[in-house]
């Protein structure tokens, strides 16, 4: 069988009946739509990253409150209660170590949350997939 015996595909029929200008117009419109969709995707991903940053900042704020309690409890509560058993100096060290551990745990969790934010990973990957022919070329000098 030769090529002339097969009916044309829909794409071939469209190419035969549509002008080059119309085809280029459709390609241009498709590229414009693709770019608009990529921008919308970037906006959604940015909102998600912002929410994660907020959670990380909240945990770091919690670490700050824990740091405040280090000072508070060093000067008042357990310092006095444990001072009877082991002396005032050693009881202050014990309270400081306990609150330092709480602050370190909160700070490490907050830092980990902030480090896990990658910005716009999916959008960056799909933009890299745009064929080379559609990317602007630098003019040679």
More confident: 44 or 73:
44
pLDDT for residue 138: 60
For residue 141, the model assigns a pLDDT of 45
pLDDT in tens, 6-30: 888 887 877 778 787 887 888 888 8
Tens of pLDDT, residue by residue over 84-133, are 888 888 888 887 888 789 889 999 999 998 888 876 556 666 666 666 65
The pLDDT score that the predictor gives to residue 121 is: 59
Contact 41, 112 (CB under 8 A): no
Q: Which of 103, 106, 75 is nearest to 91 (CA)?
A: 75
- Exposed/middle/buried for 70, CB within 10 Å: 0-12, 13-18, 19+? middle
Domain boundaries, the chain: 19-120
Cα→Cα distances 42→30, 107, 124, 127, Å:
18, 29, 9, 11
24-42 pLDDT, tens digit each: 888 888 898 899 898 888 8
């Amino acid at each position: 069988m030769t090529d002339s015996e097969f009916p044309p595909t829909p794409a071939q029929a469209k190419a035969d009946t549509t002008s080059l200008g119309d085809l280029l117009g459709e390609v241009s419109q498709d590229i414009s739509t693709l770019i608009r969709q990529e921008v919308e995707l970037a906006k959604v991903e940015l909102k998600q990253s912002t929410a994660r940053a907020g959670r990380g900042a909240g945990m770091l704020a919690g670490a700050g409150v824990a740091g405040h309690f280090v000072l508070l409890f060093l000067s008042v509560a357990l310092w006095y209660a444990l001072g009877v058993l082991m002396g005032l100096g050693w009881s202050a060290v014990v309270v400081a170590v306990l609150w330092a551990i709480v602050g370190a745990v909160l700070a490490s969790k907050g830092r980990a949350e902030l480090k896990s934010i990658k910005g716009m990973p999916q959008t960056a990957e799909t933009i890299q997939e745009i064929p080379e022919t559609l990317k602007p070329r630098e003019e040679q000098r």
